[in-house]
Amino acid sequence: MSQLASKVKSDFPIFTNSDLIYLDNASTSQKPQAVLDTINSVYTKSNANVHRALYSLGAKATEEYEESRKKIANFIGADSEKEIIFTSGATESLNLLAYSLSSDLSPEDEILISEMEHHSNIIPWQQLAKRTGAKIKYIPITQNGELDLSESNNLFNSNTKIVSITHVSNVLGTINPIEKISSIAHQCGAIIIIDGAQGAAHKKINVKDLGCDFYAFSGHKMLGPTGSGVLWGKLNLLDQMEPFMSGGEMIDKVTMTSATWNEVPYKFEAGTPNFIQAIGLGAAVEYLESIGMDEITDHEKELTRYALDKLQKIHNIKIHGSGSNRIGVVSFNIENIHPHDLAQFLNEYNIALRVGHHCAQPLLSKLNETATARLSTYLYNDEQDIDKLCTALQEIIGYFK
C-alpha cells in the first residue's frame, strides 16, 4: 500500500492532536500549512487591491496574483495564463458560461448534459434553456454508473450547440471518457465544457489532451482556500464571449451611455477579485505538484479498491456504481438504516462523511434513492481510516438489529 498519507498528514494542522477521520473530501478538502502560511503572508505583508494601486504594495499583490495565474495555467497545461479566469468556484465558472454563451442559442438548439451531473452543471443550463427556448437532453447512465454513449448518434446532432459533462462523478466516482466525448462534440460543431470540480483535485489535467473548450474547477476541493476557483477556456472563444458580471476593472472605456471591455481574462473578473484566495490556490497547486499528481491518483485508486473490497463484505450494504474507471468516491446505503442516522452515529466515532443527495437529485432518483452515504478520499487518507469506518459501520448495524 502507498505510504503517501503517512508522508503528508503532518502537513495538515487539522489532524494535529486529533483522531478525526475525514472522508468528506468531495465536499471540501483540508488545507496544508503551506497554503495557510501563504494566505497569512499576503494579509500581513502584501495586502493591497490588485490592478489598481500605483504604490509598491499594490504592485506586489498584483505580481503575486498574476504569478498564481501562471502556476495554474501550467498545472492544467493551458497555452497561456490569459486563459485562466479566477472565479469563486466551479459553480460560478459554470454560471459564467451559461450566461455568457446565451447569445449563441436559439429555440432549435440543444444543450447536452448527463444524468450524473451535479446541480451546478444542470440548473445554469435549465435557466439558459428558459431564456433562449433551447432544449436540454441527457446522456443516460448504465447500470454500472457509467455514461451510456451507445445512442450517441441520436444524442449528438447538428442542433447540439453545448455539451457540458462532469469529469468525475461526485456520487459514483466514475471517471468519464472526456477525450472521446470532446471528439464527438466537435464533430457536430458543439462547444464542450468539462465540470472538473472532482477532476483537477485528483488527476493530472492537460486541457489540450482532454480536447475540451472549457474546464471549470474549485480551489477549495484541491487544498486551496474557500472562494477560489477557475474557469479555463480557449482564448479565441473567451475573446468572443460577452462578460458575465460588470463593474470595476472589467472595462476598457466607460462613458455616460456605454462601455467597452478590458481584454481576457480581466473582462470576466469584475470588481475586486478574491485575490488572496487565488494566491492561496497557487500555493495549493505548488504543494500538489511537489507531491506529484500521478502519485496522488495512484494512492486514491488503491485506497478506493481497498474501500470497495472491505465495504462489500458488510451485510446488507448496497454500493452504487461498479464502473472500473473510478476514483476516490464511494456511495452506499445500508438496508433499514437511513443515511442521516448513519451520519449521526458515525459522528460519535469522529468520522466525517457526507450523507444526502449530494446536489445530484436527478442521479439519485435514477438510483431509486433519496439519500446515500458517501465516502470520499484524498492524499492524507489511508487504510486505517477505511478500517475504522468499516468497524464503526458493523457496530452501528449491530445497534439497529
Ligand X SMILES: Cc1ncc(COP(=O)(O)O)c(C=O)c1O
176 CB contacts (<8 Å, ≥6 apart)? 114, 146, 147, 165, 166, 167, 168, 169
In terms of C-beta density within 10 A (0-12 exposed, 13-18 middle, 19 or more buried), how is residue 235 classed?
Answer: middle
Task: State yes or no: is 212 an active-site residue.
Answer: no
Query: Within 10 Å of residue 131's Cβ, how many Cβ atoms?
Result: 12
Q: For ligand X, which residue of 31, 69, 71, 118 counts as binding (CB under 6 A)?
A: 118
Pinpoint the alpha helices (H) of 144-274: 152-155, 178-187, 207-210, 235-240
Give the shortest CB-194-to-ligand X separation in angstroms.
10
Q: For ligand X, which residue of 129, 149, 191, 197 counts as binding (CB under 6 A)?
A: 197
Q: Which stretch in 29-37, 115-123, 306-314, 385-393 sits in contact with ligand X by CB under 6 A?
A: 115-123
Distance of alpha carbon 34 from alpha carbon 283, whole angstroms: 7
Size of the site for ligand X (CB under 6 A): 13
**Closest to 230 in 3D by CA, of 361, 78, 110:** 78
- Confirm or reject binding of residue 120 to ligand X (CB under 6 A): yes
Distance of alpha carbon 94 from alpha carbon 162, whole angstroms: 12
* Run of H or E residues at 372: strand 372-376
Scanning residues 203 to 222, which ones bind ligand X (CB under 6 A)? Answer: 218
Q: Closest CB to ligand X among 164 and 182? A: 164
**Distances in whole angstroms, Cα of residue 397 to Cα of each of 208, 300, 314, 336, 338:** 48, 27, 9, 9, 11
Backbone angles phi, psi at 332, to 5 degrees: -155, 160
Q: Closest CB to ligand X among 62 and 277? A: 277
Give the shortest CB-351-to-ligand X separation in angstroms.
20
Give the shortest CB-155-to-ligand X separation in angstroms.
20
Scanning residues 143 to 182, which ones bind ligand X (CB under 6 A)? Answer: 166, 170
Give the shortest CB-43-to-ligand X separation in angstroms.
23
- Confirm or reject binding of residue 29 to ligand X (CB under 6 A): no
Distance of alpha carbon 111 from alpha carbon 130, whole angstroms: 12
Q: Which stretch in 176-184, 195-203, 204-212, 282-290 sits in contact with ligand X by CB under 6 A?
A: 195-203
Q: Closest CB to ligand X among 124 and 282? A: 124
Binding mask 80-99 for ligand X (x = CB under 6 A): ---------xxx--------
Give residue for cell 497554503: 35
- Confirm or reject binding of residue 224 to ligand X (CB under 6 A): no
Using CB under 6 A as the criterion, which residues of the chain lie in contact with ligand X when the complex forms?
26, 89-91, 118, 120-121, 166, 170, 195, 197-198, 218
Q: List, by residue number, the catalytic residues.
A: 359
